[in-house]
A and B are shown apart, each in its own frame.
Chain A
Amino acid sequence: MIQKQVPIVFNHHLAGATHVLGFDCAEIARAAAPGQFVMMREVQPRGYLLNRPFSIGNVDGNTIEIYYDAVGKATHAFAELDKGDELDVFGPLGRGFTLETWAKVNVLVAGGIGIAPFPFLAIELAKRRPQTHTVVLAGFRSAPLVVLADLFAEIGVGFKVATDDGSQGYNGFVTGLLEQELDAHGNNKVGVYACGPELMLKRVAEIAVGRDVFCELSLEQRMACGVGACLVCACNTRAADGAADYKMVCKDGPVFNARDVVFE
């Protein structure tokens, strides 16, 4: 883990609220694993105080890529930054995805900006487990909001879109697409990784656990510190004996086994 002021090397708008930002940091690039995140804020924050958590979207040489939606104070401010501006960053943080599984097919399920950690995961899966096949199932509200199709094509993995309004790809939620995908494969050869809104993750967990396939979820929770100091980012999990057990998303996660997560 390192804390540093780092220079932005690019920052552009992609579609809808979604942007991509790259900053240079050799130390984080060297240490990062898919599913981990960084805490980030402007060097002189405008109108806010705390760092915000963002998944490590991709690593290209010394450049860390972040895919983010401008939704509030900090992220709207990020969208105004330019190449050469500096960010205050620390990371890499948290526990990432398990890369070594029995799966022959890796199914990455994304809801909206939940797609953020998947370029890095897809690339590392291709590198470390070249004998496996990877497909990204990405849900968006509508066709104009679809992002990263080109990038996943470049990486050489499958990319299937679901839209809530049916304007592109599968008509409906991405979890419908997941059921189709699982029907098409033998369940026991599939590993599912999911990131997105809580309701989507809940449904993904039901589907995957119901079919007894390996499934990891990247959870989101409000954070203050990102390192386990404040205990703000609690999520409800099940302990080995079945009892409720609060875990910290920043330290024990953000990636959890779907079997251990308790949804309300």
Chain B
Amino acid sequence: MKMAVNIGGATIKNPVMTASGTYGYGDVYTELCDVTRLGAVVTKGVTLEPAQGNPPPRGCETASGMLNAIGLQNVGVAAFIAEKLPPLRERGVACVVNVQGSSITEFVAVSQKLTGIDGVTALELNVSCPNKTGGLSFGTDPKALNTLVTAVRKATPLPLMTKLSPNVTDITVCARAAVDGGTDSLSVMNTVIGMAVNLGDPSRGIRPRPVLRNVTGGLSGPAIKPVALRMVWQVVQAVDVPVIGIGGIASATDALEFLAVGASAVQIGTASFYNPRACEEVVDGIAAYMTEHTVADINDLIGTFEIPWTAT
């Protein structure tokens, strides 16, 4: 059975990856899940300097999902290379580094520092940066996005994935802007901006207030799966680069739905929080599905979705 897929120049042994920000640097679930069985680990977003992130409360559960406003908290690219990458490299785990920044210069600098480093399989540009103080919103402005991807493309030969924001009217416009800038693949999608309200206690004079200190946060988990599926399907039709499906995937069935609409791989985020073995179970579940339906090569499943009736 062949489960390897090629994501814009990066070949990974199966199409199941962790989603950035939900698996640390591949070091947190080692006692509960065998990371060496995954296609790749995508790291928490890395910036040029270490960053503290937003003040708490940073997260809460919502209907079939959760909101988070972590901000940019990470160890910084130097510590990442020195401390976080070597254990993954030694265990032979493919590592996609999620790159964050508040300026084009920062994205370029981080990408250059990761270039030529053994064990870095690809870069994933997080262009839906939640940093409220950053002036540019790359992920929602196609022109800024194109400029950013073009600059990073010039700076590194590493396979480049661009992670799109769903918080736009037409995601295909951003998808094309990133492809024109030279991205090798697209990850679809990041979290959906949302908010939660605490009603307080009027009898004690406590007024309704936001649950998150940051007021708004990113919604993830099963709640966003239909939105993600729709966006992956739209992007797959709009561009010619591989697409990685992300959003609410918790089971092999979920993952197979994304592959069917054309995703070449998937990432699993929030599901790992309540089922630390979720990624491994999805690898096993896809393999079991392929056996059951006598599919020899996973690539034969990708993009098999069709609409069996004609438009009226």
Contacts and interface: CB of A to CB of B under 8 A. Distances in A.
A231 B221 contact: no
B159 interface: no
B182 interface: no
Given A232-B58, A234-B58, A51 B53 contact: no
A51 B22 CA distance: 15
Interface in B209-243: 221-222
A1 B56 contact: no
Given A227-B276, A246-B52, A232 B61 contact: no
B66 A50 contact: yes
B57 A222 contact: yes
A224 B66 contact: yes
Contacts of B8: none
A222 B53 contact: no
Q: Looking at A50, A229, A234, which has the most chain B CB atoms within 10 Å of its CB?
A: A229
B274 A51 contact: yes
A3 B28 contact: no
Contact of A228 (B24, B56, B60, B221): B24
A49 B52 contact: no
B66 A227 contact: no
B289 interface: no
B274 A49 contact: yes
Interface residues of A, number: 27
B274 A232 contact: no
Nearest to A72: B61
Interface string B45-85: 00000001101111111001110101001000000000000
B191 to A, nearest CB: 12
B197 to A, nearest CB: 15
B53 A225 contact: no
A221 interface: yes
A229 B28 contact: yes
B273 A230 contact: yes
Contacts of B107: none
Given A221-B57, A232-B68, A3 B32 contact: yes
B225 to A, nearest CB: 13
B31 interface: yes
B274 A231 contact: no
Nearest to B56: A234
A246 B277 contact: no
Contacts of A246: 52-53, 56, 73
Contacts of B221: 49
B190 interface: no
Contact of B29 (A2, A227, A234, A245): A227
A115 interface: no
A229 B272 contact: yes
B44 A49 contact: no
A245 B18 CA distance: 27
A232 B55 CA distance: 10
8 contacts: A49-B65, A90-B32, A228-B24, A229-B28, A230-B22, A232-B58, A233-B59, A244-B52
Interface of A: 1-3, 41, 48-51, 90, 221-225, 227-236, 244-246
Closest 7 CB pairs of A and B: A232-B59, A225-B273, A229-B28, A1-B31, A224-B273, A234-B56, A231-B70
